[in-house]
Every structure is written in C-alpha cells, then in structure tokens.
A and B are shown apart, each in its own frame.
Chain A
C-alpha cells in the first residue's frame, strides 16, 4: 500500500528520528489461523488474489494438493501441504496458510535502508510501500520466515499487507472473510491470544499434547498467530522453532554497533586530520639545491652501507658524469 491510510505509524524503516505516534487508544490487531479447523480449501488464496487484484499464475501438478510451489510477488498467500509418516504407521497431513506473520519486531523493517519503504502501524500491521522501495532485497535476508518476494520487472518487493486497506476501513482481511470454517480469525491481539490459548487447551484435552499457540518471543510476538495441533512438528509445518531477528549471525546488533563505530571513526578521522593540520601544518621540502645535494649524497655513500642492489645501481648512475638529466626536448 502506498498510503498511510490515516493509521497511526509506530515506526518506519531507515528513519532514526523518534516515532510520531502519541495516540494512546491504538488497538493492536491480529489474525489467527486455527490449523485444527483448516480444511485446505484455498479460498483464502483466491480471496487474497481477488482483493489485491494480483495476477493469476498458471499452476501445475507437482504431486500434491498445493497450488503453487512457493510464494511469489503475485502470490502473497499460499496453502502449504506436507505429508509426514508417523511412527505408528499413520500419517500426519500438515496444512498451513503461509503468508506474512507481521512480527512485532520485524526483521524486514530493521534491515531496510530505504526511508519509509517499510512501515509498522500502531495496530501492528507491517506494510511495504513500494513507492519508496529501492529493490535492495535486504528485507528478504532480514525476514526469519522467508516471506517477501522480489519482482524482477518492477524491481520491488511484495508481501501480504494484512489487508491494511480493509482493516483501516473496519473490515476484516479478505482471507478471513473468505474462510468457510472460521479457521482464519481476526480481532484484537488480546482476543486472538485468548481464543488461541483456549483452543490449545481443548486440543490438549483431545490428545494433542504438544499443541501450541505460535506467537514466538524472539520476534516479540506476531500479528498473525497459529494454533498448531502438532506442536512437535513445527519444522515440518515450515515454521522455525525459535525465530528471532537477532539470531541470524547476530546481524542486527552487529550492524548497529558497526554504524555507531563507523560514524564515530569517520568523524574522528576528519576532525583528527584537521587538528593534525593545525598542529603541524604543511611540510615543505628544503630548497631545491639543498634537496638535490642531499639526494645525491645518499647515492654516493660508501658501498657496504647499503646492501640492496637497486640502491647501489642507482648510486652508480648518479656518479656517471654524463647522466645529468636534460629534461624535455
């Protein structure tokens, strides 16, 4: 979305000045995908394409129920199917709606070097402004969930907007509206957490002991959470166990420290040079006769004092009486 839609902005990428937001009444929103209720119908995929007017991509059968192999710049929502053989001979059919999770601490936003290209609203939605995107794709490297996709034609990066244009007009996101089983829900973050916790309890009662609400601390929580019945199979679902924006080689703290060190060192270098100049000034060579005489005397020092052949060779040259340079013709 290119506009800010009248929503309060919490922070913008590459914008070190403090947040402009002073409202107290901002309510954080969240989607929640109750995987237990998902039947894999892909209505959310269609609704996403329709609402966002995204180009339909030709699909092909690659041996499963999945429509597309991966997210693309034109496919922001994808039902992922994974069949896992269980030890008791049964099978776990894992279905997950894959789209942006709208991290509270968004790696994409922190990595982005283009001012305002990634915006986090007070309500928790993380949105890209393609008008300001420079196409560097740092957000892709910064995302713990491998969500943003680069379009080679527009040279911009795209992902789910959490239907920020609908939400700002008091409508639920398109995927939520289209979901026939109520698997995808939308509400305040608080209400969704409440629902999630209650549902996890019910699943555990039904024997899914590892059921969990996926809202990882490492990214300070999500604005699209999952209720995961088989919590022991997070990786098979395609969800990182402990995603954090700082776990990747300590990248963000390292970059922050480098920036501080770098700006300090560059200023020190400039000011240091200026101070050094004020203290020592310019270094003029002695008058020509003196300088030339000194250079020649260095060449005629007694052999043995200089050991390297090149020096002796030069010394020989300068002793040659016919060798005085005649300059340009």
Chain B
C-alpha cells in the first residue's frame, strides 16, 4: 500500500484546515474522554496518574473542553453547507436496517450520507451542550448546588452518548470501511471509494476536477 498520491485514482476530500480541525477535535475528545473517565468512575481513577495527577486533570479538563468546542464550532460553520438533509437522506434513513446489515445501500448519495449528517449534528449538539453543562461544574459558585448536581447528571448522560457515537464513528471509519480514514490523514480518497460510497459527490468532483475539496 506504500505509494504516492496518484491523481488518476485519488480525489481530494478534505482540505488541510478540515483535517486539522478533525484531529484537533479528536485529540481533545480523547483527552476529555480519559480525564472524564477518571473524574466520573472511581475504578478508572488510575487514569489520573497517566494524565498528570488529579489537580492537573481538574485544571485541564475544562480548558480542553473549551478547545474541543471551538473545533466543533469550526466544523459547524465549515461543513454545514454539505450537512443539510435532502430527499435521498430520507430514503437512506428508511434503509438503515439494510445499511447496517450489508454495509451499503444502493442510493445516489452525495458528499455525506444521512448517517454521517446525523453524526455531524449529533456532535455539534452534544459538543455545545457538554460545554454549557460543563461551565457550572467548572465554576460551581455560578449556580446553586442543586443546579450543579443537575449539570453533572446531564453532563454524564451526554458523555455516555458521545462515547457511543465515538465508538461507532471510529469503528466505521477504520475497521468497517477500508479507505475511509485516508480522507482524514492524506485528505484524499480513492476514486473507487468515492464512486461506491458517495456516487453523486464522485460525479460532481469527477466533473469539476479532483483538486476541489
């Protein structure tokens, strides 16, 4: 698989800025996940040690959370154009059963399928809500202890939802669909991958020139 970028077979999918934003969000998310596990699950308190100790974790978790949400905001504004739902998405959503069983549905999918769009909106929504519920946990003097406790419960529920989404996202983009993660590392995907998973987007890029992101 060691080869240089081949313009005959590759299409640009993500710009450098897009990729930086993606890995910015993923690395901050992984830190938040590990430190959150230490803070929320006493049996995972050993994670404090590899993250620099409890006080460091308590100090960094909120700031990394802010950095994470900034990345989410970049994605919101940079990618929203491609994330609005269209009639094909409705069909795709109806064939979700087939998709999960066979890993494919034969629809004229654009740059993103309905699942990807759904995950995008899920990430934006949970990202913003995690920051909002995180602020009173960060600065407890802002609200009464009842609200602080409510914030902790909601923050925890959101955490679990995002971990679920994260596991599915990582699984699908690495183990399940070969050639997918390339889009986020090199910024380019193979024509074969694009034509199969995103036929409408493939035709568009094929027509307008593959250098476009």
Contacts and interface: CB of A to CB of B under 8 A. Distances in A.
Interface in A280-319: 280, 282-288, 291-292, 294-296, 298-299, 301, 306-308, 310-311, 314-315, 317-318
B208 interface: yes
A294 B195 contact: yes
Nearest to B136: A141
Interface in B184-213: 190-197, 199-200, 202-211
Contacts, number: 192
B39 A113 contact: yes
Interface of A: 14-16, 113-115, 117, 132, 134-138, 140-143, 146, 150, 155, 248-249, 251, 254-255, 258-259, 261-263, 265-266, 269-270, 273, 276-277, 280, 282-288, 291-292, 294-296, 298-299, 301, 306-308, 310-311, 314-315, 317-318, 320, 323-328
Given A137-B140, A150-B141, A323-B208, 12 more contacts: A136-B39, A248-B145, A255-B153, A259-B41, A265-B163, A269-B167, A277-B175, A286-B192, A296-B203, A308-B88, A325-B11, A327-B209
Interface of B: 5, 7-11, 38-43, 45, 54-55, 57-58, 86-88, 103-104, 108, 110, 137, 140-141, 145-146, 148-150, 152-153, 156-157, 159-160, 163-164, 167-168, 171, 175-179, 190-197, 199-200, 202-211
28 contacts: A14-B42, A114-B54, A136-B39, A140-B145, A141-B145, A141-B148, A150-B140, A251-B152, A263-B43, A265-B160, A269-B163, A273-B167, A273-B175, A282-B176, A282-B178, A283-B178, A288-B191, A294-B195, A295-B199, A295-B202, A299-B199, A306-B108, A308-B87, A311-B88, A311-B108, A323-B207, A325-B207, A327-B211
